[in-house]
Structure 1
Amino acid sequence: MPERIINTTSIRMIACFAFDDVMSLDVVGPLQVFASANAELERQGRERGYEVLVIADAAGPVPTSGGFRLYADLDWRELELQATDTVLIAGGDGVNRVRERRDILDWLVQVEMCVPRLGSVCSGALILAEAGLLDGRLATTHWSRCDEMRKCFPKVDVTEDRLYSYDAQGLDGDPHIFTSAGVTAGIDLALALVEADHGRVIALAVARRLVMFLKRPGGQAQFSAYLTPAIGTTAQLAGLLEWIPGNLDGDLSLEALSLRAGMSARTFSRVFTRDLGMTPARYVERVRIEAARALLHDDGMTVTRVARLCGFGHPETLRRAFQRHLSVSPQEYADRFGRRPVAVPV
C-alpha cells in the first residue's frame, strides 16, 4: 500500500464531488462554511485558510435534484490529490448510479491513500461504503437510508442518530474517513473541520455569521419522521399498527397487544420483531414519542398533559424517553419547534 501523503501547505484545498441529480445543499452548504471561515480569518488579519472547488465527471454545469445546475471547476480525474487536504462526497438522488461506477470507486480508494481527510455528506456515505472504505468504521447517513446501509454493508458500524462521525482526536469518531447525516448535517461537519483547523473562536464566528449552532444539540432524530411505513407486515399486524396510534394512553403491554393480534405473546413478539425490525415495546415507545413531538409543536400543550395523552403517565418518564431517543428534553424540543404567536400590526 502506498504511503499516505500529508498535505503541509497552510491553505487547505477542499474538493466536493458532485454528480448528476446531486443534492445541491450537500455541495454548497459545506463549501460556504469554508468560504465564511476565509472571511473571518481575513477579518482578523490572518491568511485565508481554504481553497474550495467542485469536481465532477467534467468541468461545467452539473444538474442537481433541484432542477437547476451547479458549476464544476474540474474533472475529478484531474484533481491533484497530493495538494488536496479534504475530499467530500455529496449525496442526492444520483447516488445509486455513482455506486455502480467502478472507475469512481477505484478512484476513491486512491483518494483515501493520498488525502488527510475523506468524508461524505448525507447519502454520499453509501458511495464510500460501496468502495469498501467504511468497513469497520463508525458511519451515519440520512435517517431514511440508515436501514439500507446497514443491510447492504454489514461491516459498517451504522449509527442513526448523530450528525457526523468526524472527531479530530479520533476518540469519538474518525479524523481520516468520516460521514455526516442528512443534508444540513454537512454544514455541521464542515464547522467541526474548521474548528479542528483554526480553533473554536473562528468556528464560532462562522456559526454566528451563518446564524446556526456551532454544535447542534441532539442528533438527526429530532428532524426525522421517526417511523417510516412498515413494509411487508403481516395482515395480522397491519390492523394492529393502525390501531396503536389512537390508543396511546391505554394498555399497550406485550400481553395486551398479543391478545389483540390473536397470537401467543411469544409468537407475537417473534413475528413483530421479524416484520418491524424492533421489539413491540420499542415500537410503542417510538410511536408515543412521535405523537408527543407532534403535540409539543402546539404552544397550548404542557409537558405534563402531553405525557398523559401519549401514555407516558409522568413527565419524568417522557423526559427520559426524549433524552434516550432525541438527546433533548421535551421542554427543549418545545422551545425549539413549538409554534410562537406572530404579532400582526394593526
Structure 2
Amino acid sequence: MIEILHPHDDAARITELRSHDLVWVDGWESALEELQTLREYGSAAAGSGGAGPISFDEADLDASSRYVVYPWRRTVVRLPDADLFYRLKTTRNRFLITDDEQRRWESSPIAVAGLSVGGSVLNTCVLTGARTLRIADPDVLGPSNLNRLSGSVCDLGVRKTTLAARRALELDPYVQLSILPGGYTAENADGFLCGAAVVVEEMDDLRRKIELRVQARERRVPVVMVTDDGDGVIVDVERFDLDPEYPLLHGRAEALSGVSPEEFDDPARRVELAGMIVGDDITARMKHSLGEVGRTIPSWPQLGTAATLAGAVGAMLARRISCGDNVSSGRAYLRLAELA
C-alpha cells in the first residue's frame, strides 16, 4: 500500500516522484529537535524502543532517513528510519510502559477480526506501539458505520480493511500488516491465528465467532472481545494459552450448538442468539433497543462512546497479555453511566 524508499538505494525512484504533482512533507523538521533533546538526556532516556544511545548524523540526515509514499494522499513524507521513529513515537510511553514491555509489544503479532469496534482497538494498539498486525473484515464503510467508526464520507464504499490499514500506516509507516479483505474464515485460520500473541474478536457473524474460538483454543491463542452496552463495554477474556480446556465464551457458546444455519441467517433470531451470549446484565436502554431490532432498527445498536471506550480497553488487554501480565479469563463490565 505504501513505498518506503531509501534515499540512496532508491534515488532514481525519488527523483521520478519529484516530477509528479505530489505533496512533500519533511518530518525531520520536527523530529530533529525532539531527537536532539532525547540524545541530551543520554542513553537512559533514549526512548521506549530500546537501550543504547540515539545515533544520527545531523550533517547527513539522509543516512538515517526514509521517504514514505502514501498514494491515497498523493503525499511523500521524509521520516527518520524505523528505529529512530519508534523511539520518538514511544518516548512518552516510557516508565508507564517499561522498555522490556515496549519491545515485546512492538514485536507481538496482534490479530483483529472485525473492524468496526475492532478498528478502534487496532488504532489504539498502533498508538501505543504495536507494529505486527493482522486484520480481517469482509465489509465496506457505510453511512451507518460513521456513528462509531473513525472514517470519512469521502471513504464510503471503501473496504474497512483498506481504511484500517491506511490509518495504521499513517500513524507508523513501519508497521507490518497482514490483511484479509474477505474476513476471517476457517480456511484462513492458520495464517490469521498461528503465532498470534492475542486475537481481538469483534465480528458480527455468530458462526464465525464460535469457529474462531474453536480454532484459537486448538492453537492456544488467547481471545479478547469488547462488546458495546449503551455507553459502556462488556469485556470478555478467554486465556486459551493458559487453559486449552477453557469453555468457549465462558460456556455461553453451548447455547448455540443446536442452532440451524437458517436461524443464524434470520436477522431477528440472530440478535436473539447474540443476546444469549451477552446475557441479561445489560443496561435498560440496551434491552429496549435490542427488542426493536428487526422491527424499527435493522441491527445491533451501538454508540461511538462505547466503541471508543472499547478500543482503549481492548488494546490495553492485548498489550498486557502480550507483555506477560496476569490477566485472567472471565467477564467484566465498564459502565460510564455509573460515574454520573
TM class by shorter chain equals: under 0.3
Higher RCO (C-alpha 8 Å, min separation 6)? 2
**Structure with larger Rg:** 1
With structure 1 as the length reference, what TM-score do the two structures score?
A: 0.23
